[in-house]
Amino acid sequence: SFAALQIKERDYLEPIATQCASRSPKSWDPMSLSLVMQSLANLAFSHGELISSISSQMQSELSSAWPPADVARVTWSHAKLLQKDEGFLRDASCKALARMPEMNPTSLVQMVWAFATIAPSNVTSHFYPRVAETMMETGLADYTSAHLAMVAWSFASVLYRPLPLLAALGKEMPNRADRVNAQDITMVAWAYATLLAPERRSVFAFLGEAATRAVHRFNAQDLSNTVWAFATAGESAPKLFDAVANEVCERGLNLNGQHVA
Cβ-Cβ contacts under 8 Å for 64 (sequence gap 6 or more) = none
87 or 247, which is more confident?
87
Give the model confidence (pLDDT) of 153-205 as tens digits. Answer: 999 999 999 999 999 999 999 888 888 999 999 999 999 999 998 888 889 99
- Residue pair 50/36 in contact (Cβ under 8 Å)? The answer is yes
CA distance 47 to 8: 13
Length of the chain: 261
CA distance 127 to 109: 12
DSSP alpha helices (H): ranges in the chain? 2-5, 10-22, 30-42, 48-60, 68-80, 86-98, 105-118, 121-124, 127-138, 145-157, 163-172, 182-195, 200-214, 220-233, 238-251, 257-260
Which pTM value belongs to this model? 0.87
> Which pLDDT does position 11 carry in this prediction?
64
Closest CA to 76 of 87, 94, 89, 64: 89
Give the model confidence (pLDDT) of 207-236 as tens digits. Answer: 999 999 999 899 888 888 999 999 999 998
Q: What is the DSSP letter of 173?
A: G
Q: What is the DSSP letter of 61?
A: S
Give the model confidence (pLDDT) of 9-62 as tens digits. Answer: 566 677 777 777 777 667 789 999 999 999 889 988 888 889 999 999 999 999
CA distance 241 to 49: 50
Q: Would you state the torsion angle of the CA atoms of residues 172, 176, 182, 187, taken in this order, to the nearest 10 degrees?
A: -20
